[in-house]
Amino acid sequence: MKKISTFILFLFLAQLSSAQLFTKEKIINDANGGKGSTEKNLLNWGYFFGLNSYDFKFEYEEDKPDILVEDNIGFNVGLVGDLRINDHFNLRFEPGLYITQRNIQYDSIYFTGINFTDADLKREVKSTYIHLPLLLKISTKRINNFKPFIVGGFSTALNLSSNEKNPDDNSSGQFRSKKNMMFYELGFGIDFYLFYFKFTPSIRGVFALNDEIVRDVDPNSPWTSNVSSMKTRGVFINFTFQ
C-alpha cells in the first residue's frame, strides 16, 4: 500500500510539474489573488491534511520468526507555521493529529509449551499521536509557478492511546507502548503557486529514535521477552494549503 500511495503521488507531482514546465503561457502567480505575494513574508500560516501508514521495526533477543505487522492507512490533519530565512531556507513547525492502527501477528513458536488461542497470536495497536515536528525546508529556485524542495528535521509525539500506565498487560489482552516518542524525518515535495493560495503535496518518512514497547510483568512473556526494541516508522502524504 505504501508503494502504491507513493507511486500515485509521484505521478500526480509529475503531471502538475509537466503542465507548469511546458505550458506556453508563463503567468507568475503570487498565491494571494493579486493582493501581493506571500512568498517574501517573514511568517506564513496554513493547514494540511493527508494520509499515513505506520509500521514497527522489531529487533530480537533470539533468532525466532519475525513478528509480522499489518499496517493500515490512517488520517492526518494539522496546522503549519513557516518562518522564512531566505529564498531557499524555511523553518517549519507543523503540529498535527495523526490517527492510525497496526495489527501485530505472532508466530505460534513464541508460545511453545504454553496454552494459547488464536486471539493470543494477534494484537491490535491503535495510536493517536499529537505530532510536533520542527523541520528545515530547503527549496530550489522557483521555476514558473512551482518550487521543488526537500525537508528534514526532528519531532516529538504524544501517543494518547499508548496505555503505558495501564496495569493490565498482554496476559490480559492489552498491548502497551510508551506515550512519549522522538523521531527524525526526511521528505520531499513541490510548492505550486496558484492564484489564491499555495498548494503543496509532499511525502515524508518518519523514524523513531527510542524504543516504544512496554514490557509485560512476566519476564518470560511470549509477547515481549524476545523483543529487544520496537521502533515506529512510517510514511506521511500531506497536502498543505497556505
Model confidence at 102: pLDDT above 90: yes
CB of 101 closer than 8 Å to CB of 126: yes
Residue type, position 5, single letter:
S
Q: How far is CA 242 from CA 1, 41, 109, in A?
A: 28, 12, 52
pLDDT surpasses 80 at 107: yes
Q: Which stretch of 4-13, 29-38, 118-127, 186-195 has the lowest confidence by average pLDDT?
A: 4-13
Integer Cα distance of 118 and 201 in angstroms:
42
**pLDDT tens digits, 21-45:** 444 446 777 655 444 456 778 999 9
Sign of CA dihedral 180, 186, 188, 193: positive
**168-193 average pLDDT score:** 95
Question: If you average pLDDT over residues 130-139, what whole number do you get?
Answer: 98
DSSP state letters, 110-129: GGTTS---GGGGEEEEEEEE
Region 143-150 average pLDDT: 93
Percent of the chain past pLDDT 70, that is, above it, reads 85
In whole angstroms, what is the distance from residue 128 CA to residue 159 CA? 5
The confidence score (pLDDT) of residue 37 equals 56
From 49-58, 108-117, 149-158, the region with the lowest mean pLDDT:
108-117
Q: 232 is written with which cell numbers?
A: 515506529
Evaluate if residue 46 carries a pLDDT over 70.
yes
DSSP 8-state secondary structure symbol assigned to residue 150: E
DSSP E strand stretches across 5-67: 43-60
pLDDT score for 53: 96
- Per-residue cell: 88: 531557499
> For residue 201, is pLDDT > 50?
yes
What's the confidence (pLDDT) of residue 32? 53
Domain spans of the chain, in order of start: 2-241
SS3 (DSSP) at 142 = coil
- Going by the DSSP 8-state scheme, the letter that residue 16 receives in this structure is H
Residue 7 has pLDDT above 70, yes or no: no
Residue 14 has pLDDT above 70, yes or no: no
Is pLDDT of 8 > 70? no
d(CA 65, CA 106): 8
Read off the DSSP letter of residue 224.
T
Residue 207 to residue 229: CA distance in whole angstroms: 13
**Tell me, what's the pLDDT at 31?**
52
- In this prediction, residue 55 carries a pLDDT of 94
> Mean pLDDT score of the chain, rounded to an integer?
88
Helices (H) and strands (E) in the chain, counts: 1, 10
Element (H, E) at 19: helix 2-22
The CATH architecture one would assign to domain 2-241 is Beta Barrel (2.40)
Q: Tell me how far apart the alpha carbons of residues 78 and 50 are, in angstroms, rounded to a whole number.
A: 9
Amino acid making up residue 26: K
CA dist., res. 242 & res. 45, Å (int): 6
What is the pLDDT, as a whole number, of residue 17?
Answer: 46
Mean pLDDT, residues 99-117 taken together? 94
